[in-house]
Structure 1
């Protein structure tokens, strides 16, 4: 199949000529590489909890390095009555504050000072986020689909956005009762358990919905995300914390454009990328593009747990390739000293004579490779 494009700078004319051919030729479009160091502002002003703002720089498509964070900036939340609250840099490019004394009758903006360059968002009103009614799940095509239901009895929200944080409990393939310390195998103390762990993951997709075409402000079972039924996340216990944000019409449109630009491109039938128009500007140089949109709202949260035993009988834990090795006493130093293998337990004869030890690859014994043994405070 050959594809022909007709493109005119300034306005777009697109001509598609699709026809069958006996051969296919790859098409590699030229990518514009130019000076690309624009400010990216991520976050929002939280009216009922800590505020976190992250500052970074844009990159070219061919740049595979990690994002460049903006450090040593002065970041403030300012009210239209003159009050100002300074955020502290807690890690590279991350600026936070405790719960701010936000007044719902005032408007707020974010200001940023970077080496004399001053940036400011528009003043925006405070949105109150309604409570989440329910976070539910159901089995759909061998996947577990998670959904959120909410409503605003005042019909005043209309625009919604969600994020989620997932946590799952899992265990190593083998339970280790001994450890290799200073060239010797000793009983592993309970506080050095490496069998049971927890792992976390944050949402990456943009989840938005609106009720502007409905007579009532109700979102029913909005599909947030799905996980394959045989995922390792369901091997023991799984939990998800859903966060809900009320949006203004303008902030919703920003997130909608961002979603189209990042998640809905790649095929002939996807929308063309659009210019992101945020509400943050360089007040000293208005011509400089700035990426980001600041809004002010409260946050509603709801957490649910899902045990493996609650899943249908068709659940099957993912297969793991782990082999238990037998190690003779005289082979212990050589086998365990490198750190790539860990001991599991002693091996005795029927008469009680120690004849060796069992061991395996670290990834089969130490759950900390993928997570942490620190039990979350919220874990049931």
Structure 2
């Protein structure tokens, strides 16, 4: 088939489009169909606080269930040519020690014995984490951007990792002065209100940074998290706790590869997943992969609070849809006994006679549906 030359510039883009369209076929890697049951070791050895190590197993992407936890394992921190310290299983698959006697001049490794197999990490040196200088924030048009700042006068850290915990105060849509107990409506006891609560969230994204290209080991305004302007977290008061860890070059590269593998595989131009190379080996079966990288460091923490009054008026979360109902006296049992609705207040006639009650769904009246009434000890 031949085309006039002046038509080629119009036809070629179409041919390119149809070629791309014809190549869009589902691709299922063979690895998804293979047995996938390798040990995953999460956590680190804390030199200035509690050490927590979590053991689980890998799973295929098509597996809808949660990861299998490795229980009843023997988990030990061993000093090179020295003492051994056992971790206790405090929850299924979670092994802890309150405070390990780590000496900065010595090396340590993690040893795991489970399922008839022995696993061990390389011996690693403890790292001292510099203090967090400050946390600060800017109110941008689309949300609250929070930053972390730190430095090392010795220019020795260079590689950093961060985690964070969020806490925010919120209130129910209605304030209830009544409660339904044992078939009766009564005044709510002082201190038993269900209006004000707190919620918590921990970071899931991997946050790493380095200063290797800088003359000074200074981290300035590293963006740690951004809270959308319409988030309920900013409705009353918001708090962020940042945890900082010093990393070795090898552990930094591990976390960076893990970040790319888990957070950057969604588009045509994202980097291809890479093989994770940790520092834990299966001594019983040396060819068996083990997922994880053991480090030893101290932990530095810092907390910041942001109140609603400090933020722009345009920061407004969507309002909850909370219609209320009215219930006649004598019909309250049919409405409130199931627990799905909660009385709010009495309805009094013009002659000061009790004629009914106002009530609404539990999610609109009881803040505990979404959080806890236990006020955090650190809350300002």
Q: 2:16 aligns with which of 5, 16, 19?
A: 19
Matched, 1:307 2:307: yes
| Cα displacement string for residues 326-359 of structure 1 (whole angstroms, at most 9, x for unaligned residues) | 1111221111111111111111113321000011
Q: What SS is found at the alignment partner of 1:127?
A: coil
Answer whether contact 1:196 1:373 (CA < 8 A) is retained: yes
Matches within 5 A, 1:62-141: 62-141=62-141
Under a length normalisation based on structure 1, what TM-score does the superposition of the two structures give?
A: 0.93
Question: For the residues of structure 2 that align with 1:38 and 1:104, how far apart are their CA atoms?
Answer: 32
- Unpaired runs of 5+ residues, structure 2, are 1-14
Q: What residue in structure 1 maps to residue 212 of structure 2?
A: 212
- Unpaired runs of 5+ residues, structure 1, are 1-17
| Cα displacement string for residues 119-173 of structure 1 (whole angstroms, at most 9, x for unaligned residues) | 1000000100000011111122321111111100000000000000000000100
Q: What residue in structure 2 maps to residue 189 of structure 1?
A: 189
Q: What residue in structure 1 maps to residue 201 of structure 2?
A: 201
Shifted more, 163-172 versus 338-347: the winner is 338-347
Q: What residue in structure 2 maps to residue 61 of structure 1?
A: 61
Question: For the residues of structure 2 that align with 1:192 and 1:291, how far apart are their CA atoms?
Answer: 47
Question: For the residues of structure 2 that align with 1:94 and 1:185, how far apart are their CA atoms?
Answer: 45
Answer whether contact 1:164 1:203 (CA < 8 A) is retained: yes
When Rg is computed on C-alpha atoms for both structures, the one with the higher figure is 2
| Cα displacement string for residues 255-290 of structure 1 (whole angstroms, at most 9, x for unaligned residues) | 000000001111111110000000011111111110
Matches within 5 A, 1:284-299: 284-299=284-299
Question: For the residues of structure 2 that align with 1:100 and 1:22, how far apart are their CA atoms?
Answer: 61
CA-based RMSD of the aligned residues comes to: 1.4
Residue correspondences, number: 363
Question: For the residues of structure 2 that align with 1:375 and 1:30, how far apart are their CA atoms?
Answer: 48
Cα distance 1:23–1:130, how it changes in 2: closer, same or farther (>3 A)?
Answer: closer
| Cα displacement string for residues 183-220 of structure 1 (whole angstroms, at most 9, x for unaligned residues) | 11111113322111000000000000000011000010
Question: For the residues of structure 2 that align with 1:216 and 1:85, how far apart are their CA atoms?
Answer: 37
Question: For the residues of structure 2 that align with 1:139 and 1:264, how far apart are their CA atoms?
Answer: 27
Under a length normalisation based on structure 2, what TM-score does the superposition of the two structures give?
A: 0.93
Question: For the residues of structure 2 that align with 1:93 and 1:352, how far apart are their CA atoms?
Answer: 61
| Cα displacement string for residues 58-95 of structure 1 (whole angstroms, at most 9, x for unaligned residues) | 00010010111111011111111321111111111111
Q: What SS is found at the alignment partner of 2:254?
A: helix
Q: What SS is found at the alignment partner of 1:262?
A: helix
Displacement of 1:23 = 9.5
| Cα displacement string for residues 103-133 of structure 1 (whole angstroms, at most 9, x for unaligned residues) | 0000111111103211100000010000001
Matches within 5 A, 1:229-244: 229-244=229-244
Answer whether contact 1:193 1:373 (CA < 8 A) is retained: no
Question: For the residues of structure 2 that align with 1:248 and 1:293, how far apart are their CA atoms?
Answer: 11
Question: For the residues of structure 2 that align with 1:336 and 1:24, how far apart are their CA atoms?
Answer: 58
Q: What SS is found at the alignment partner of 1:251?
A: helix
Q: What residue in structure 2 maps to residue 357 of structure 1?
A: 357
Displacement of 1:254 = 0.3
Q: What residue in structure 1 maps to residue 26 of structure 2?
A: 28
Answer whether contact 1:119 1:282 (CA < 8 A) is retained: yes
Displacement of 1:324 = 1.3
Shifted more, 261-270 versus 246-255: the winner is 261-270
Question: For the residues of structure 2 that align with 1:327 and 1:19, how far apart are their CA atoms?
Answer: 67
Question: For the residues of structure 2 that align with 1:310 and 1:371, how far apart are their CA atoms?
Answer: 24
Question: For the residues of structure 2 that align with 1:147 and 1:141, how far apart are their CA atoms?
Answer: 16
Shifted more, 50-59 versus 137-146: the winner is 137-146
Answer whether contact 1:281 1:290 (CA < 8 A) is retained: yes
Question: For the residues of structure 2 that align with 1:223 and 1:272, how far apart are their CA atoms?
Answer: 25
Cα distance 1:24–1:353, how it changes in 2: closer, same or farther (>3 A)?
Answer: farther
Question: For the residues of structure 1 that align with 2:105 and 2:206, how far apart are their CA atoms?
Answer: 29
Question: For the residues of structure 1 that align with 2:258 and 2:115, how far apart are their CA atoms?
Answer: 28
Matches within 5 A, 1:269-348: 269-348=269-348
